[in-house]
Amino acid sequence: MTIRPLADRVVVKLMEAEEKTKSGLILTAASQEKPQIAEVIAVGPGGIVDGKEVVMTVKVGDKVITSKYAGTEVKADGVEYNIVRQSDILAIVE
């Protein structure tokens, strides 16, 4: 199944949560924070959204930082994705 986002939406795949702290402590699944860094899988075409023209600035393959609880979680072919608006993307990681 292919997910094709519309308008200013972006499909991202969240990176794995850290299983260890910097000091080497192993975290349980319940204490792991939700990751905020994600990889862009698909990008919508942009266009007129809410009366304003939106130009898409992210591209497939970019690593981005998203708002912590933004978007809609979707599961396709056993893989979890998040669909967010481009405005929910805070930064591109270089």
pLDDT for residue 33: 57
What confidence tens digit (pLDDT) does each residue in 14-64 have?
A: 887 555 666 776 656 554 456 689 999 999 999 998 899 999 999 999 999
Greater confidence (91 vs 34) lies with 91
One-letter amino acid for residue 44 of the chain: G
Q: Identify the CA nearest to 92 among candidates 54, 56, 44.
A: 56
pLDDT for residue 57: 96
pLDDT for residue 87: 93
pLDDT for residue 28: 60
| DSSP-assigned letters across all residues of 4-33 | ---TTEEEEEEPPPPSB-TT-PBPPGGGSP
User: CA 17, CA 88: separation in Å to the nearest integer?
Assistant: 20
User: CA 53, CA 80: separation in Å to the nearest integer?
Assistant: 30
pLDDT for residue 1: 81
pLDDT for residue 74: 95
